[in-house]
A and B are shown apart, each in its own frame.
Chain A
């Protein structure tokens, strides 16, 4: 059985219907990219999986349990982590407190040294408050905060957005290393080449509907299809 199987997921913001019967599945050790234009419902999909937005109907089978409608902490305890688009680093806590807090309730949490090995920059800045970090450092911390919980799946919401190209290269290399080590990832990304460089498979979301599902190599070979859906 897939690690994550989503079926008929419908989500609303107030009265506006955002996701229409979204269905997708992700196998263990797989990296899947969810592509789509602005406002297609990509972030809402991730938030619905994590329980930040409560889906109105549908099934979210995660590791054998239906998580639809469950609270975020329950879903986190089951081994899912969402790295939010706006990072949501705790500004009043320092880097190390952010990491310790994140690991508190994770049974198989990584030791801090392992996190610092992956992100040496965070070790240098371990005593700095979240508000004093650069955008790139905040993104590293947001990802590190998810990883320290040793999650079964990480949902990354536009991890490379608004970052300098050199930092994007760095983070992309880190994500690749993670993927090669077997980390299951669902990534939402506007940067198509970065997403295709990372992913094994892609889904395309359009106006809240899944309209395409294919392997990443196939997507690379059919740029006209991506152009049609994504306008790139």
Chain B
């Protein structure tokens, strides 16, 4: 129902969702931009981050340890998966790459279901961020506000890594032309491994940070995967600023539409994607298309 406080609250929900989508999508977009592999297991990795954090939280009762565990576990998962499986698919057709990452995503989901069942588990928000914050005319869950801040810091860290470090320079060059990077004496396959690790890590971090907001189930990543895919298309494949902009746009579209009629949230999201593709085929901030 439409009221001004309701709208304001939904705008905030959109910002929180958008920031989260931005972070997950930046992982997906740098992986796709550099390796050329569309990682359909990215949503499942988001989910794994949540569960790894949940396990660590159960063991230690510390939310910070949970966040570290979710993040680092996915860094390791990303690197191992790239070494063991993904790297054998760089020279294979896109269909094979889609199939193998889709298969991985099913495995991740079912492994988690085996150990934790399909019932949702709960990771509580840390004590300092629990409760409600009064923001003028509306009351808003404090942790959701905190998520916006935490994710903004993570995005800033990712930005600094990409634009202010040597590794970031190599990654940006690799997104543009991996063959040329290799010709300049930089082992591009090692770069691929690092990028896959960092991209997976971003998904894992988002998964645990988001865990107190949703009820964590093994298929929590499915919806997220579809949304991040739309974000990457809207923002432009391989573009980090594009992922951030696309994430915020998608978050607000879903949120505002849900206020009026939740059934149309995805319709509006895909309509927006179609519109962007018509006007700017490479996405809002994308440059060249990747073959």
> Taking each of B170, B172, B185, B186, which has the highest tally of chain A beta carbons within 10 Å of its own beta carbon?
B185
The listed residue (A88, A91, A145) touching B287 by CB distance below 8 A is: A91
Given the known interface contacts A88-B177, A90-B176, the answer about A101 and B170 at a Cβ–Cβ threshold of 8 Å is yes
Docked CA distance A81–B205 (Å): 40
Q: How far in angstroms is the closest Cβ of chain B from A56? A: 15
> Which residues does chain A contribute within 8 Å of B172, judged by CB atoms?
90, 92-93
Count of A-B contacts judged by CB separation below 8 Å: 66
- Are A101 and B173 in contact, with the CB atoms below 8 A? yes
Interface 9-mer from A22-30, A70-78, A198-206: A70-78
Chain B contacts to A: CB under 8 angstroms = 166, 169-170, 172-173, 175-177, 179-189, 287
- The one of B175, B176, B177, B182 that contacts A71, using a Cβ cutoff of 8 Å: B182
> A167 contacts which chain B residues (CB < 8 A)?
none
- 17 other A-B residue contacts (CB within 8 Å) besides A84-B183, A149-B184: A72-B179, A72-B182, A72-B183, A73-B186, A73-B188, A77-B185, A82-B183, A84-B180, A88-B179, A90-B176, A90-B177, A92-B172, A92-B176, A93-B172, A93-B173, A104-B170, A105-B186
Chain B residues within an 8 Å CB radius of A52: 179, 183
* Distance A129 CA – B109 CA, assembled complex (angstroms): 43
- Cβ of A97 < 8 Å from any Cβ of B? yes
Residues of B within 8 A of A90 (CB): 172-173, 176-177, 180
29 A-B residue pairs with CB within 8 Å: A71-B187, A72-B179, A72-B182, A73-B182, A73-B184, A73-B185, A73-B186, A73-B187, A76-B183, A77-B185, A81-B183, A84-B180, A88-B177, A88-B180, A90-B177, A91-B176, A92-B173, A92-B175, A92-B287, A93-B169, A93-B176, A102-B184, A104-B170, A104-B185, A104-B186, A105-B185, A106-B185, A145-B184, A149-B184
Q: Known: A92-B176, A93-B172, A100-B169. Is A50-B183 also a contact (CB below 8 A)?
A: yes
